[in-house]
Amino acid sequence: MKTIEVTYVCSTAAKTGLVRNVTLSDYVVAQEGYCVVVEALEAKPIYNQIECADGEFRTIAKGDIFVGVLGERKALKGYSGVVPRVALPGDTLNVLNMGGIIGTCVSDHPDLGPALRVKVLGAAMVEQDDMQVHARLQDHALHPVDSLKSSVPLVFISGSAMNTGKTFAACEVVQRLTRSGYRVAAAKATGASLMRDVQLIRRHGAVEIATFTDTGVVCSTNKAMAPQVKGLIQHLNEIADPDVIVIELGDGIIGYYGVDELLQDKELQKFAQAHIVAAVDLAGVWAVQQLFKDRYHADITVVTGPVTDNGVGKQYIEQVMGIPAINAREDPKDLGDKVASKLPAPKLREAQV
């Protein structure tokens, strides 16, 4: 083993405590969650940034040496990739997302170009009990919870697809509820590891945040996510003393990321007080309405997203579908008030007496 100075550490690896001076091993464990040191083999004009452990985004330059995390991804509007069966020093892999997920790209996206290529230098090691061990997310993970016995009310934000405005809606809801006296915690329950969204929600007033990455999951594809998400919710209940937890469900409802499973989980939905759905078109809203009616047996509280950008979409959703429609950009206060109307009043705390 030897020590190497890296240019940066990706945000997905932040919980491992790795810094710029990294102990390097030739033996790479080719499994999700294990940290690898890689060298960028090229630069790209687009989709060329990485979110670092300090929260800053940096452009990847040819020759940059950095810590990434092995994982998979199945993005409808991004790259699809897998964890390689074997990873040896000198092998070529790809950067699959801006959070620093490293894997073998099996499907590019025409808008993004080929996934950036990196060369494996070795495995990142950390000291544990006076021994050097492989750095991995699972060693710093919250425990899954099979049964969630209690929780404050939950507000779920889901979407008909990626990039429908879920995070923007979450930010506005958190901000408006906070201004109304609620103590709000927030989580991102599914997706591919990236801290940007939950950090943005924190800046809008969330007292505590958590993400599926905190449970040792790099990407929520092809996993039973309910125990992990229940672990997140229990954690936020315990450390934040919230009045409500706002939960963004990354990616679309239908897909590989586990959103459908969570919306079907009766124990989770027992605590759900509101469902916000973000969509880009009326066909998406119609499909989601059928899912909520026939599959989830729940009501949609409000529809938001680009489909509500003008009066045409809002009028159709409200008059034909019978669902409230509020644009988060134009009417954030109305969106917050709509959600607040579904919640019990916030607790009266000592500082408020």
Q: What's the mean per-residue pLDDT of the chain?
A: 96
Say whether 160 sits in a helix, a strand or coil.
coil
pLDDT in tens, 50-63: 999 999 999 999 99
pLDDT (0 to 100) of residue 353: 43
pLDDT (0 to 100) of residue 351: 60
**Any idea where the domains of the chain sit in the sequence?**
2-140, 154-352
Fold of the domain built from segment(s) 154-352 = Rossmann fold (3.40.50)
The CA distances from residue 278 to 63, 200, 326, in Å, are 40, 18, 10
Model confidence at 349, pLDDT cuts 50, 70, 90, reads: confident
Say whether 228 sits in a helix, a strand or coil.
helix
CA–CA separation, 258 and 44 (whole Å): 31
pLDDT in tens, 32-48: 999 999 999 999 999 99
Q: Which residue reads 């000592």 in tokens?
A: 350
pLDDT in tens, 301-313: 999 999 999 999 9
Q: Is residue 64 over pLDDT 90?
A: yes
Q: Is the pTM of this model over 0.85?
A: yes
pLDDT in tens, 154-201: 999 999 999 999 999 999 999 999 999 999 999 999 999 999 999 999
